[in-house]
Amino acid sequence: MRTRVEPQVRGERLVGKVLEAALEELATTGYAALSIESVADRAGVAKTTIYRRWPEKDDLVLAAMKCVADDFVLSGDTGSIRDDLFALLKRFRDFASTTRGASLMRMMQVEGVASELTELTRRMRKDKETVPQRMVARAIRRRELPRGTDPQLLLDTLFAAVQNMLMFKGETCDDRKIAQLVDLVLVGAVNGGGRRLRRAK
């Protein structure tokens, strides 16, 4: 009896399959224990297939983490900074509430002190920082926020609040709580509390 041969996966389907396997490995074993071999086994592809596109482990992990960020960072323009932040925070809440999301968040907490993972996180944030910058720039043009408002400070404050509730306090974070958090942060930002601080000379 002939063994059934799986059709070869190429192009974007191959990329998606490998990145999905990398995320599963990250969530299951963590960054330090992840290997190209384990990802290849999970994805059902040859190691050389992965190495051709991602020569180093860091390249693969960074690509996988960017995919995760895309799921909740990329957003449209609702016409209101409040609605933009509300929609963004809901997507983050939904991601962090999944089994995979919670595992990846814990992995970042436990292994975040590792220099390699810290550098990867910095590179990913730099790649995605144009999204909050555009969001805040639109709000400034609409005069919803004062000039000089720090986009990353706004998002870091909101994300940290949701993460604290879900991961450390074990509480739920429903839509009403998200709206409350957004309103709280925006009140501070509107009154100048979100401006970038000048570096001391």
Indicate which CATH number applies to the domain containing 14. Answer: 1.10.10.60
Number of domains in the chain: 2
- Both 127 and 181 in one domain: the answer is yes
Residues sharing a CB contact under 8 Å with residue 161, sequence separation 6 or more, in sequence order: 181
Contacts 24+ apart (CB under 8 A), 37-45: 43/17, 43/18, 44/6, 44/17, 45/9, 45/14, 45/17, 45/18
Q: Which domain holds residue 31?
A: 8-64
Q: Give the predicted TM-score (pTM) of the model.
A: 0.80
In a domain, 69, yes or no: no
Taking CB atoms within 8 Å and a gap of at least 24, the contacts of 44-48 are 44/6, 44/17, 45/9, 45/14, 45/17, 45/18
Together in a domain, 46 and 113: no
Identify whether residues 35 and 57 lie together within a single domain: yes
Task: Kindly state whether residue 1 falls inside one of the protein's structural domains.
Answer: no
Alpha helices in 30-174 (DSSP H): 36-43, 47-53, 57-73, 81-96, 99-111, 115-128, 130-141, 151-163
pLDDT at 115: 63
* Same-domain status, 82 and 52: no
Report yes or no on 183 lying in a domain.
Answer: yes
Other CB atoms closer than 10 Å to residue 119's CB: what's the count? 12
Question: Cα angle vertex 91, ends 104, 18, to 5°?
Answer: 45
Contact 102, 166 (CB under 8 A): yes
Half-sphere exposure of 160 (CA within 13 A, CB side): 7
Is 117 a domain residue? Answer: yes
| CATH number, position 101 | 1.10.357.10
Q: Which residues contact 54 (CB under 8 A, 6 or more apart)?
A: 18, 60, 63
Instruction: Give the pLDDT confidence score for residue 112 in this predicted structure.
Output: 66
- Quote the radius of gyration of the chain (alpha carbons, Å): 20
Is residue 187 situated within a structural domain?
Answer: yes
115 and 158 share one domain: yes
Phi-psi region of 119 (alpha: psi -120 to 50; beta: other; left: phi over 0): alpha
What's the start-to-end Cα distance of the chain, in Å?
77
Same domain, 26 and 104: no
Nearest Cα neighbor of 36 from 58, 62, 12, 65 is 58
CB-CB neighbours of 30 under 10 Å: 18
pLDDT along the chain (201 residues), means of 10: 41 89 92 93 94 93 87 79 93 90 85 72 76 89 94 91 91 95 96 79 51
Asked if 26 and 93 sit in the same domain, the reply is no
Same domain? For 136 and 186 the reply is yes
Smallest Cα–Cα separation from 73: which of 1, 188, 156?
Answer: 156
3 is a domain residue: no
For residues 12 and 90, membership in a common domain is answered with no
